[in-house]
A = this chain, B = another copy of it.
Amino acid sequence: MASPSPVAPLDQEELAQALAALPAWEHDPSRAALYRRVVKPDFPAAMAFMVQVGFAAERLDHHPEWSNVYNRVDIWLTTHDAGGISTRDVTLAGIIDSLA
């Protein structure tokens, strides 16, 4: 039986490349995470955005850590199994950008 492929954290060069391809995101070293803020016109729009991201996250089985205050959503992506940022976070970040 094949075991599931391990999740490795991105190395420094891979992280730099990922950030170059995701200009809305920054590296938050304090949380070993990708971070971005999304601002919507109002609270219902912010909630609708979160629900869309939520369905994508559940399909990927990879979930954001996020906070909402009215029309603002702060999002951190990290992979606990990898102890840092992995390709899973890069994939979810791209999907979030397409929904933001």
- A residues sitting closer than 8 Å to B (CB atoms) are 43-44, 47, 50-51, 54, 57-58, 63-70
Contact of A69 among B44, B54, B58, B65 (CB under 8 A): B65
Within the oligomer, what is the number of copies of this chain? 2
Interchain CA distance A10-B68 in the complex, whole Å: 25
Interchain CA distance A40-B43 in the complex, whole Å: 23
A62–chain B nearest beta-carbon distance, Å: 10
5 nearest A-B pairs in the assembled complex, by CB-CB distance: A67-B67, A47-B54, A65-B69, A63-B70, A43-B63
List 21 A–B pairs whose Cβ atoms lie within 8 Å, in order of A's numbering. A43-B54, A43-B57, A43-B58, A43-B63, A44-B54, A44-B58, A47-B50, A47-B51, A47-B54, A50-B50, A51-B51, A63-B69, A63-B70, A64-B68, A65-B67, A65-B68, A65-B69, A66-B67, A66-B68, A67-B67, A67-B68
